[in-house]
Structure 1
Amino acid sequence: MILSVIDPKQPFQQDYSQAVQDLVNFLRSGLGDNLHSVYVYGSVARKTASPHRSNLDVIVVTHQSFSQQRMTLFNTVKWKFQKTYSHVTEVSFKTALVSEVASLDSIFSWGFLLRHCAVCVFGEDLSECFGDYEPSWEIAKYWNNDVEDWLAVYRNRVALAKDDSELLKSQHLIAKKMLRASYSLVIPRDRAWHDSPIACGKQFLHYHPEMRVEIERLVIMLSQRVIAKRSTIGMIDSYGKWLAERYKKTEFRIG
């Protein structure tokens, strides 16, 4: 089965179209000729974003490194967006060089992300360097095989959250990651690809119905309801451990 791509001709939602255009203008002004292309991925790219809940996820591809001005440029963009587009919860950036993206080594990383999860909003569309993809363990493994590492990172974030706002943000992030990682385990059998965390959880349950309670708890963590730290940490320690072990077993079996 060939995976679908996001239709680049479908317009962005009204709440985000001007925000995306302003973002491109900021980056063009700040990077000049060094800017090669800009991509939007995530819910804004899929046109399913929810105001005051969804991030604007961006990939910036340049010809040369801009590490010295990176922090200043991105912080300025974020500050301007906080003032102008308060419904955008955060502007999140990934960066890459053209030489890194247009490489055989990037087939399951940048190649897959640009081809099936993103929309080019400025410049030469590097997704056209790659053919269409089929669901595979290689894709699932690349995006989730470090599950044990990021579980530890997010566990620490939850434990150190100073208020409900920080805790809510952390629980949302870990719930999304765990739902997507759950689905990635069954991609070789399901032969499809889902990006929506809730859709990932539902499809995963077709193969692991015994995990219904855990998936339901993760979906609750996606809501606006703040979950107690001990409950979120409990999910990370119990279900997260199961996920990490399953990835190791699947990798051993498939290779």
Structure 2
Amino acid sequence: MAGRGLDVEGTIAREGALSRVPAAFAGVVDAARARIADSFDDGRLHSAYIYGSIPRGTATPGLSDLDLLLALHTAPTEADRAAATAVEQALDRSFTQIDGVGILLFSARTLLSELERHDLGFFVACLCTPLLGDDLADQLPRYRPTPLLARETNGDLSRALAGWRRQAAEAHTDHQRAALSRLVARRIVRTGFTLIMPRWGGWTSDLTESAEVFGLYYPQRAGQMRRAATIGRTPSPSPDVLRELIDDLGPWLAAEYAAVHGEKAARP
């Protein structure tokens, strides 16, 4: 029976669809499609995808960001990255509905590789909505909420902590601290969810639901995870918030994750 983000066969259902895009963001999505097509019109683009709150239908005008992934026929070049940055900036300037634009660039070969089968492959197949080109999900398996999926999606939290500490030390403005708090909080909540995902037996990308489900299994950390979910939606410039996330909740979660699921396979 379908439920908890699963289809009738018990595999994780693709969570987004263009039909779920809120009316306020329809023009944003159309413009993103057109700008990507124009900027990558030399045959290098294999396919483009949108992910996050906009295709899930939960985006809030003025607060939500636009998240895109481009699959290229070959490894991204500096010219590709410059083109993507130009698209990001143009879209961000053109639409007040969105608060920032992010474009990920990968080769189709990387996204389909065995090493990325349960990380980037899962991301494309289940969390991304096709926007342009042939859908790579057709070449990927169906996924279940397994310990392997947990390990390969978020089993590298410990590696992120040192970088976040460095960024926190170098953040000198409220804007920088708030942006970092959002990034860290979202990653921690999603890691907290995938820690318990195999036991819960389902999938969600909703921060509030993720924190609530986590709290069922780790009540002693439930309050912290709920606060992290709030920060993921409404960032804070408070240094105390960053300290709690990076120096307390984060290290505990990384250690618990490694003990339960092991560490993610190393990338080159």
Question: With structure 2 as the length reference, what TM-score do the two structures score?
Answer: 0.87
The match for 1:6 is: 15
The match for 1:31 is: 40
* Alpha-carbon distance in 1 for matches of 2:64, 2:201: 28
* Alpha-carbon distance in 2 for matches of 1:191, 1:247: 17
For structure 2, the 5+ residue unaligned runs are 1-9
The match for 1:22 is: 31
Residue identity matched to 1:244? A
* Alpha-carbon distance in 2 for matches of 1:223, 1:8: 21
2:219 equivalent among 209, 216, 220: 209
Q: Deviations over 1:45-67 (max 9, x none)?
A: 21211222222111101113341
2:240 equivalent among 214, 226, 230: 230
For structure 1, the 5+ residue unaligned runs are none
Structure 1 pair 131–88 and aligned structure 2 pair: CA distance change class (3 A): same
Conserved? CA contact 1:159–1:229, under 8 Å: no
Deviates more, 1:168-177 or 1:209-218: 209-218
Per-residue deviation, 1:220: 3.8
Q: Identity rate of aligned residues, in percent?
A: 21
Equivalenced residue count is 254
Conserved? CA contact 2:88–2:103, under 8 Å: no
Conserved? CA contact 1:221–1:227, under 8 Å: no
Conserved? CA contact 1:11–1:17, under 8 Å: no
* Alpha-carbon distance in 1 for matches of 2:40, 2:144: 35
Question: With structure 1 as the length reference, what TM-score do the two structures score?
Answer: 0.91
* Alpha-carbon distance in 2 for matches of 1:128, 1:15: 30
2:204 equivalent among 160, 184, 194: 194
* Alpha-carbon distance in 2 for matches of 1:132, 1:218: 30
1:96 equivalent among 106, 115, 125: 106
RMSD over equivalenced CA pairs, Å: 2.2
The match for 2:120 is: 110
Per-residue deviation, 1:43: 1.1
Per-residue deviation, 1:90: 1.5
Conserved? CA contact 1:201–1:215, under 8 Å: yes
* Alpha-carbon distance in 2 for matches of 1:23, 1:88: 12
Per-residue deviation, 1:116: 1.0
* Alpha-carbon distance in 2 for matches of 1:136, 1:197: 20
Structure 1 pair 8–140 and aligned structure 2 pair: CA distance change class (3 A): same
Conserved? CA contact 2:146–2:197, under 8 Å: yes
Deviates more, 1:93-102 or 1:39-48: 93-102
Residue identity matched to 1:117? L
* Alpha-carbon distance in 1 for matches of 2:123, 2:56: 13
The match for 2:260 is: 250
Q: Secondary structure at the match of 1:59?
A: strand
* Alpha-carbon distance in 1 for matches of 2:179, 2:83: 24
Conserved? CA contact 2:47–2:72, under 8 Å: yes
Deviates more, 1:97-106 or 1:148-157: 97-106
